[in-house]
Structure 1
C-alpha cells in the first residue's frame, strides 16, 4: 500500500471521479435548497482564493508562492467543502434520504481534501508514493564496491576502457556519514555509483555533492525519488561509456524543518560537515578524485543556495557548483531573524557569509565554473539567477545559465536542471571525449 504511486493518473483520476460523484449526489439531494448550494460553492471558492493568497503570499508559509494549480485547487476544495456543509445541514427531506445525504456529505470532506492534496503534490512532484509522504524512504543500504588491491596504482579515467562485464546501470543506496569533525547530526545520505565504479580496477572518478531543498518532507531521498535522479544519472553514464561522477547526496539539514543555512552556527555546523566530514568519508570508501577541480557542489532551492555559498567560499574544495533555484544567500524568516538565530546576533558574521560579497572579495576566480538554473515560471527564485550570474562573471567565474521552459519551483524543474548540471560537469572533467 505504501508504494502506491501518487503521481500516476491511474491513481488520481479514479479518486477525482469518486469525489465528483459524491459532490453530484449531494447536490442532487439538496436540489430544493439550490440557492444555498450555489451560495456555498461561490463562498467556498472565494474563501479558498483568499486562503491561498493569505497563506502563500502574505504569510509565505512554504517559502515559495503558490502556483496557479495550488490556487485553483484550494478554491475547488473549499467549494466542495461548502457543498458538504449544505448537505450536512439541509440534505434530504425524508428521514432515510436525509441520513444518506449526510453520510455522502461527510465522505465528501476527506475526499475533497485528499483530491486537493493529490493535485498539489502532482504539481510539485514531491511525494511519488505514500511511503514518501510518510517520510518512509525505501532507499536500501548501499553495497560498497570492493577496495582496490593493496599497492595498486590509481586508474586514470581518461585512459580507462569499460570491461565486458560492466553493469548496465549504476547503483545507489543509503549510507551513514558521521559528523566526526563537525559533530553535525545528519540523517543517512544517499550515494549513487556509476557503472564504471562497480567493476574491478575501477577508475578514480569526479564527485558531485548534491543537496535537496528544505521544507516539509525534505530529505536526501527527494533527489532520487521526486527528482528521479538515479534514472537520469544512468542516462548520463550510458552516454559516456559507463563513466559519470560519483554523486553523494548528504543531509545538510539534520531534520526537514531545520535550516542551518550551510554555515557553522547555533543551528548546526553544516558547512564543516559538507566540506570536511563528507569528503573524508568519500575518500575512505570510494575511488574518488582528490583535487577540487574534480569536485562539484550542487543543490536545489535551499541546497542551491548552499551550492552558491560553498562554491564561492571554498573553490579549493569545489571547483564547480550547480545552483538550481537557490536564494541570493542564507536566510531564515527575514534578515533580523537570520542574524539572531543563525549567527548569534552577529551582523558582521551574517554579512561576511553572503555569497555575492564573498565572490567580490575573493575575485578573481581563475579556475571556478558555475551552472545556474531556475524554472521560467519561478517568480520568486527565477529573478535571483541574473544577479548570481552577473556577480559570478564579474568575479571571474565561468558561468552557464539555464532557464527551464515551463518550469516552476518544483522537483520536475529540479530533476531536469540538476541532471543537466551533472552533464555540464562531466564535460568540465576528463570523463567526456
Structure 2
C-alpha cells in the first residue's frame, strides 16, 4: 500500500471522478436548494482564492509563491467543502451522508493535485518519510584501476553492467558530530567492474521542508534513471554521486554552516569526502569534486563552492537563494549564528566570492525554472558575482519549470553532464 504511486494519472483521475460524483450527488440530493449550491460554489472559490493569496503571497508559509495549479485547486477544494456544508445543513440523510464523505475526498484530491504539480511525494511511503531505498552493496575490487578515468582512453569491458547501482549508506559525523540521516549513493557502471578507474565525485543535496530527505533526489527527481541514461550515453562513465543528509531532519535547516543547528559544513566538507575516499575508488583532488543541490541544497552548493574551492572545484546551484536564511534575517542571526551579526555577514557567499577572488580554477552551473518568480531572478545575480570573482559560469533556464522537482531533476542531471566535460569523463 505504501508504494501506491501518488503521481500516476491512473490513481488520480479515478479519485477526481469519485470526488466530482460525490459533489453532484450532494447537490442533487439537496432539494429546492440549487441557489444555495450555486452561492456555496462561488463563495468557496472566492474564499480559496483569498486563502491562497494570503497564505502563499502575504504570509509566505512555504517560502515559495503558489503556482497557478496551487491557486486553482485551493479554490476548487474550498468550493467542494462549501457544497458539503450545504449538504450537511440543508440536506436529508443521503445528502448528509455523501457530504461527510465529500470532505476527505476534496482534501485528498486537492492535496494530491498540488503534490503532483510539485512532484514531491511519488508514493505514500515518501509522504510518510519512509525511504524504501535498500542498503547499497559496495563494490569489492582489491585491484582498482591506476588513475583517474578519461573518456579518451576508456575502453568499457565486456562485462560492463547495463545500469548503475544505488542504495543507502551511513556516513557518520566523525569530525563534525553531525547527526545525519542515512545518505544515498549512485555508482556508475564504470565503478562496478574489476580494475575500476578512479572517478570524480558529485555531492548532491536535496531541499529543505516537510518531507525533505536525500531520497527526494532519487524518487521525486528520478535521478537514478537520469544518471543511468547519462552513463549509457558515455559508455558506462559517470561520476560517483553521493546524496548526503545536510539537514539532520526534514524541518531543520543548519544552513550548511557550523552553528547551533548542527555542524553541517564540516560534515559535508570533511566527513563525507573522507568516507567516500575510504570506501570507493574516488578522486582525491578537489578539482574532481562538485557540490550540487536544489533549493536549500542549491544555496549550500553556492556557499561551499565559494567557501571551499579547494574541496569543490565545481558547483551546481539549482533554484538556490542568495545565502543562508531561516524565517528572516533576525531569526537567522539569532538561531543560526548565536546572535553574531558579523558571523552572519561573513557567511554570505556573494561576499565570500568578492573577498576571496580570484577563483581561476572554479566553475559554476547555475539554473532555475523559467516560471520560478521567487528564485529565478537570483540566477543572474549569483552568476554576475561569480563571474566578477573569476569563476567560469554556465547559466541554464529550464523551460516550463517552476520551483519543483521537474526543474531540479532536469537541471541537476544536466549539471552532472556539464561536470563530466570539466573532468574529461565526456568528450
Please indicate, yes or no, whether the TM-score normalized by the shorter chain is above 0.5: yes
- In structure 2, runs of 5+ residues without a counterpart are none
Aligned counterpart in structure 1 of residue 319 of structure 2, from 325, 335, 344:
325
Instruction: Tell me, in whole angstroms, the C-alpha distance in 1 between the residues paired with 2:148 and 2:77.
Output: 58
TM-score of the two chains, using structure 2 as the length reference: 0.98
User: Which residue does the alignment assign to 2:105?
Assistant: 111
Instruction: Tell me, in whole angstroms, the C-alpha distance in 1 between the residues paired with 2:145 and 2:26.
Output: 75
Distance 1:153 1:205, change over 3 A: closer
Aligned-partner SS, 2:142: coil
Aligned counterpart in structure 2 of residue 353 of structure 1, from 312, 326, 347:
347
Instruction: Give CA deviations for 1:182-203 in whole Å, capped at 9, x if unaligned.
Output: 0000000000000000010000
User: Which residue does the alignment assign to 1:170?
Assistant: 164
User: Which residue does the alignment assign to 1:369?
Assistant: 363
Does residue 208 of structure 2 align to residue 214 of structure 1? yes
User: Which residue does the alignment assign to 2:41?
Assistant: 41
Aligned-partner SS, 1:262: coil
Instruction: Tell me, in whole angstroms, the C-alpha distance in 1 between the residues paired with 2:119 and 2:53.
Output: 22
User: Which residue does the alignment assign to 1:184?
Assistant: 178
- In structure 1, runs of 5+ residues without a counterpart are 92-97
On the 8 A contact 1:253/1:270 being kept in 2, the answer is yes
User: Which residue does the alignment assign to 1:12?
Assistant: 12
On the 8 A contact 2:296/2:320 being kept in 1, the answer is yes
> 131-140 or 294-303, which moves further after superposition?
131-140
User: Which residue does the alignment assign to 1:95?
Assistant: none
User: Which residue does the alignment assign to 1:264?
Assistant: 258
Alpha-carbon deviation of 1:153? 6.1
- Within a 5 Å distance, the mapping from 1:149-164 to structure 2 comes to 149=143, 154-158=146-150, 159-164=153-158
Aligned-partner SS, 1:172: strand
Instruction: List, as ranges, runs of 4+ consecutive aligned residues in structure 1 with deviation greater than 6 Å.
Output: none
On the 8 A contact 2:141/2:195 being kept in 1, the answer is no
User: Which residue does the alignment assign to 1:90?
Assistant: 90
Distance 1:34 1:290, change over 3 A: same
Instruction: Give CA deviations for 1:269-325 in whole Å, capped at 9, x if unaligned.
Output: 000000000000000001101101100000000000000000000000000000000
On the 8 A contact 1:213/1:299 being kept in 2, the answer is yes
Alpha-carbon deviation of 1:364? 0.6
Instruction: Give CA deviations for 1:86-115 in whole Å, capped at 9, x if unaligned.
Output: 001101xxxxxx211111010000000010
Does residue 51 of structure 2 align to residue 51 of structure 1? yes
On the 8 A contact 1:43/1:79 being kept in 2, the answer is yes
Does residue 419 of structure 2 align to residue 425 of structure 1? yes
Instruction: Tell me, in whole angstroms, the C-alpha distance in 1 between the residues paired with 2:384 and 2:206.
Output: 25
Aligned counterpart in structure 1 of residue 93 of structure 2, from 79, 95, 99:
99
RMSD: 0.9
Instruction: Tell me, in whole angstroms, the C-alpha distance in 2 between the residues paired with 1:153 and 1:214.
Output: 38
Does residue 224 of structure 2 align to residue 244 of structure 1? no
Alpha-carbon deviation of 1:41? 1.1
Does residue 308 of structure 2 align to residue 314 of structure 1? yes
Aligned-partner SS, 2:159: coil
